[in-house]
Amino acid sequence: MRSPSSCLVLLGSVFGLRSSVSKKNGMMRSNKKTFALISSGLAVGGLSRFLTTRRWASAVLTELQAPSHPAFALIGTERVEELDAECYVYEHEKTKAQVMSVVAAEENKVFGVVFRTPPADSTGLPHILEHSVLCGSEKFPTKEPFVELLKGSLQTFLNAFTYPDRTCYPVASQNEKDLRNLATVYLDAVFKPRAVLDPYVLKQEGWHFEVDKENKLEYKGVVYNEMKGVYSNPEALLNRAAQQALFPDNTYAVDSGGDPIKIPELTFKDFTNFHSKYYTPSNAKIFFYGDDDPLERLNFLDSYLSELPASVSVSTDTKVAMQPLSIITPRYEQHPFPSAESQHMISINWLLTDKQLKPHEELALALLDHLLVGTPSSTLRKALTDSGLGESVLGGGLSDELIQPTFTMGLKGVKAQDVAKVEPLILDTLQTVINNGGFDQDDVASSLNTIEFQLREFNTGSFPKGLSFMLGVMRNWIYERDPVEAVRFEEPLADLKSNLKNNQNYLPQLIDTYLISNTHRVSIEMVPDAEMEARETAAEAARLQALREEMDETQLQKVKEEMQILQERQAQADSPQALATIPTLDVRADIEPKVKSIPRQVQKLSDHTTLLTRTLPTAGILYADLALDLRSVLDPISEIPLVPLFTRMLTETGTSEYDAVALRRAIGAQTGGLSASALATMRVSHVISNPEDIVYRLIIRGKCTKDKSQNLFNLMTAILTDANFKNSKQRVIEMLKETKAAYESSFRTSGQQYAAARIGASLTRAGYIAEKSSGVSHYYAVLDAIESAQSNWPDFLARLESMRTRILQHCDLVINLTGDEATLHAAPVEALRTQLEASALENKFDAQDWAQIAPLEKATENEGYAVPTQVNYVAKGGRFYPVGYSPRGQDAVIRRVLSLDYLWNRVRVMGGAYGGSCNVNPTTGTFIFSSYRDPNLEQTLTTYDHAVKYLNELAIDQTELDKAIIATIGELDNPLTNDQKGFVSLRHYLDGTTDEVRQKWRDEVLATSKADFIKFADELNTMLKHNAKAVVFASAASLEAASSSLPEHNQLKITTLIN
């Protein structure tokens, strides 16, 4: 996956289930069942039968008029009623490329190309090629067309990612011309990349040697360094070990992302051979989705494919083989991970089947998974949590992204003497479910309702619906299975309900078949090794030293020359002629100058309550939010760190009517979901607000069908007023330990987020709240809270009860509802208001005095946090706009140029980091640089310091400036689902954002000129000289090595965060 900034794209589940797809081991790997529901229907006959019989065209909906094109053979047409989409599948006659064209009423259009790319080794070939093909092509000979598209497109999604067996290249845009531009560049990138002709692309993106001042060799390369970061993550190491143990005989036994030890074995010949074998039209699955003309799609695609060589048949030699269930006696493996702590990790992993599952069987496994691990009160998750054997549950349960599904559960933070107890606990819990005849019927109904609600809602959040659809069908299509069956759910859902009704032992039988009686099981224990990091560093140094000793002076000189050539190429700007080949939009003709408004009606219901409503087409679903003031009632020093725990307790401790399990059951049965969180932000105006002028609210969010609105409101009231804090000591301690474990994992892998938070905390109250709630300070507060809850529960409980009492007594409440007219009319708002105001005092509380937290805001000392990692996360920033200053939309444009030109080239391309970016916040007035998985520390800080010089010397032409303006407008116009529109509207109401403010910002973006860059540079220079703060997350060795050479203004105060 390519990341233009320090923030990786995390893909949410297709239907908004709790699954997510994250990048692990350089590939896409599901933390949960990635697309279990959208891929819940697998055709028994497979794609080959589908292709030969053309059963769609003749058997289902012959009235559909699929566009006809002489260059394409129509394979079939079918309407997917569940998702209101018409699907046409074609084969390009000349090249044998397979094409799916989906017509849907969705303006956020999607195009994608997917190849099967099963690797034979762990050199990272698929992953490195994924990076490399986007570094220039025959028609677009710039260094990185990918970055040029980021610089000047309205794209709503632009990325690429590598799975263990396939590589995906998707793009999305609401603008049809823009989508065609993106698709044109991507097609040429994958089929005619510069990388197969220029070995320096492999050197940059994969690996190469560099020679330091002492003539010592070093490994460098974007993917090489990325994977060193991945291999610093203990959970990633565990996932890799589990996958390879479960799949010893097929392509999943190697690492498609690349093992840092193996990556330097990759040769240019292997690289080019891999491309020529796998990146062919006959091995391609091409996808369109949206409301654009389906005939024009074919015209567009043929205009490119017709230029490629002909193919005789669809590629079959890239198929992925099934892994037989060959483990007769369950296995146990131990692997080390870098840590000086004494706590272990243990996961139990199953390969569930070596047969193709039927649609209702896949959906049944999804239901079983939800019952076992889907919520904190689910049977297996609760048993692991309640056992006290570990700090946090590990593993996501069912994962079905590969050709065969797997199931994984375990614990992390386990004492050595308790490791052996975890596997028996899991097996005994599963056996108990069988012995008891299955699950409580109310639990089954609740889980089934949750799954069905999310299937029907098809809410993909900020992830394009078309991309969810694409990745869902690919789950079948690349395995020669019927692709459209992958997105159907009505029939398998009916079959599942029938099986549940007619066979009371249906779910217990699934547990026995796929888990208890399934011996293809591997337990992976991860053992902490305090010397592992040093040992691996020494081993790499020894390998490099041995290679250096084998080189004579001529060979060494060649390495130096190649290094010099690479650096010169990286530093050389693209020619105007090359840049002109990248298609772009016209800033005047193609860009809408006016902001889009979100409707909102405001009604004052009482002195305590305000009602916000907006009428949107939600198909009978009500989206409801409650926002209660925290700013006036909480102590900023002692109580803010308790808010994240407080919000979890609301939904996980039960009430007087429901215990924790029953509450979760009621939420699942009666709603589409219910959650609690906190919102902290500065108030918005035309100028930077006083740092104390903040919005701090408790947010309760829920959704339901129109007929269940009273149930939803009753549950919202119950968790707010009646959550059972008193009897929740053990659960609270478990929550705190889970939070502790999550931090200790995240510090290693997402250090840039925590570094930026530390900088923000020193600048504004909102930044302070964020860091006290989700940063290093909060981590330390969690450690203290564990001790307090264990040693003095009554006092700890009293603090939480007092917080709730004051929130309800103050009762500054906003009710926010989004739905269609009939749904809004049916919502019993008055009853909800009455219930929530029952405890309200006549007079609201006065605002708390937050002047006491001023000392933290003045803390500008540079900080270095030592964590076990092989890479660095480097941030630097400060106050960019003073209070009272009017932020300018032009600065958002300049920020993009700084990120995607200067930092991309210096930090990523030349520095070898996986990502580098900067951000200027017009609300808080802060500016922050950050890098991600960075091999450098001092060099990166120096790069930040030289940004002013870059801006002052930048000679940007109008074409490049227009591109930056277009891309900035694209950021402002990202599509929103109806529930997102409702929440954004609520946030705007709370923080004071108006259409006038938004329009002013947009006008300023569109008016950006070259002169604005100099003004920006002056302000950045002032910040860097007078109030900038650096924060770095890195290994202790890296921090100590840097401390001796960093200039005084970048010197770091080093703290060991985790060992």
The closest of 807, 829, 779, 658 to 1056, measured between CA atoms, is 779
Cβ-contact 838, 606 below 8 angstroms: no
DSSP E strands in 20-122: the ranges are 20-24, 27-30, 72-80, 85-92, 98-104, 109-116
Instruction: Quote the CA–CA distance of 684 and 1028 in Å, as a whole number.
Output: 24
Among positive and negative, which fits the CA dihedral 360, 366, 368, 370?
Answer: negative
The closest of 736, 720, 822 to 778, measured between CA atoms, is 736
Cβ-contact 80, 488 below 8 angstroms: yes
Instruction: Please give the angle made by the CA atoms of 379, 383 and 385, to the nearest 5 degrees.
Output: 120
**Residue-wise over 481-501: b if at least 16 C-beta within 10 A, else e?**
bbbbbbbbbeebbebbeebbe
Instruction: Quote the CA–CA distance of 396 and 35 in Å, as a whole number.
Output: 13
Residues 671/675/676/682 CA torsion (nearest 10 deg): -110
Which token pair is 40? 């819940």
- Active-site residue among 106, 130, 235, 457? 130
Cα–Cα distances (Å) from 886 to 392, 574, 964, 1004, 1027, in that order, read: 46, 35, 22, 12, 19
- Residue 704 β-bridge partners: 622
Look at phi and psi of residue 461 and say left if phi exceeds 0, alpha if psi is from -120 to 50, else beta: left
Q: Maximum Cα–Cα distance for the chain, whole Å? A: 86
- Active-site residue among 106, 144, 148, 205? 205
* Residues of the chain by 3-state class (helix, strand, coil), percent to 5: 45, 20, 35
Among positive and negative, which fits the CA dihedral 151, 153, 154, 160?
Answer: negative
CB contact set of 316 (below 8 Å; sequence gap of 6+): none
| Residue 652 falls in the annotated catalytic set | no
> How does strand 873-879 pair with strand 926-932?
antiparallel
Element (H, E) at 595: none
Instruction: Quote the CA–CA distance of 800 and 343 in Å, as a whole number.
Output: 30
| Residue 362 falls in the annotated catalytic set | no
Instruction: Please give the angle made by the CA atoms of 312, 313 and 319, to the nearest 5 degrees.
Output: 140
Please, what is the angle between helix 379-387 and helix 359-373, to 10°? 30
Residue indicated by tokens 């040992």:
535
Count H helices, E strands: the chain?
Answer: 39, 30
Half-sphere exposure of 204 (CA within 13 A, CB side): 31
Indicate the residue type of 17. Answer: L
Residue indicated by tokens 């015209």:
299
First to last CA, the chain: 29
Cβ-contact 908, 915 below 8 angstroms: yes
Residue indicated by tokens 């996956």:
1
3-state DSSP assignment of residue 192? coil
Instruction: Quote the CA–CA distance of 207 and 424 in Å, as a whole number.
Output: 44
| Neighbour order of strands in the sheet with 392-399 | 331-338, 521-529, 344-351, 406-414, 392-399
Count CB-CB contacts under 10 A for residue 1056: 12
The closest of 734, 289, 627, 215 to 467, measured between CA atoms, is 289
Cβ-contact 484, 704 below 8 angstroms: no
Residue indicated by tokens 């409702």:
982
Residues 890/892/893/897 CA torsion (nearest 10 deg): 140
Mind telling me the catalytic residues? 130, 205
